[in-house]
Homo-oligomer: A and B are copies of this chain.
Amino acid sequence: MQDQEVKLLGTWSSPYVLRIRWALRIKGIEYEYIEEDLRNKSPLLLEYNPVHKKVPVLVHKGRAIAESLVILEYIDETWRDNPLLPRDPYDKAMARFWCKFGEEKLSPPIWRVFVTQGEEQKQAYASAMENLEILEKELEGKRFLSGEAIGLLDIFFGSLAYIIPMYEEIIEMKLVDPSKLPWLSKWMEEFLNSPVVKDTLPQKDKLLPRYLAIRDTFLAKRE
């Protein structure tokens, strides 16, 4: 049945698209992947995500869903095996709380560290470190953020695990220093090397120039 098909619209380097790929893989769902060129958006993307015109977009039975966290919850509620979220409402609330924390408190300063320099970068760095330490405390004593297995929280923060080492290499600054954030550092390594994630990551020699160009573009804008 054609309309049973699952499609994913993405771009190869996007950390948000990777979240969906990991979730679909954990669930064992076959899907068609459609690469988008964001400088030349396809009619399909504009039709499926008219509000934001961004990836990822998941299309299931011909109906489109946008926003990575919304897609992750949809996947978990539609295919119930290998749950990504705990079933208990309180535990689920905690997972959602930490996702919101990541989105609002962690991703923005880490992004700013990457695309600024000087005093602005210093301030962003202080804010990133403060919030990474909060996450470190939350992770203490656990193997994964979701407990003993990779779950929604790991997938959600996994986009940072994927992007941080590249940021660190480009700006020559350590964000997740094993001596200061041992749990996070260990988690990042284990997550990135897990069977679910390992061979989904873009090659570094392809990724690095892409992100170098992004940083240069942002720095140029601010001059």
CB-CB under 8 A from A93, the residues of chain B are 65, 70-71, 73-74
Within 8 A of B (CB), among A103-160: 105, 134
CB-CB under 8 A from A67, the residues of chain B are 96-97, 100
Complex Cα gap A105–B67 (Å):
13
CB-CB under 8 A from A97, the residues of chain B are 65-67, 70
- What's the least CB distance linking A91 to chain B, in Å? 10
Complex Cα gap A66–B104 (Å):
14
A40 located at the interface, meaning its Cβ lies under 8 Å from any Cβ of chain B in the complex: no
Cβ-defined partner of A89 (8 Å) among B74, B105, B134:
B74
Q: Mark A187-221, 1 if CB is under 8 A from B, else 0.
A: 00000000000000000000000000000000000
CB-CB under 8 A from A60, the residues of chain B are 90
B78 touches A63 (CB 8 A): no
- What's the least CB distance linking A222 to chain B, in Å? 19
Please indicate which of the listed interface residues A66, A71, A92, A97 has the most CB atoms of chain B within 10 Å of its own CB. A97
A37 located at the interface, meaning its Cβ lies under 8 Å from any Cβ of chain B in the complex: no
Please indicate which of the listed interface residues A70, A74, A93 has the most CB atoms of chain B within 10 Å of its own CB. A93
B100 touches A74 (CB 8 A): no
CB-CB under 8 A from A73, the residues of chain B are 92-93, 96
A101 located at the interface, meaning its Cβ lies under 8 Å from any Cβ of chain B in the complex: yes
Q: Mark A77-98, 1 if CB is under 8 A from B, else 0.
A: 1100000000001101110110
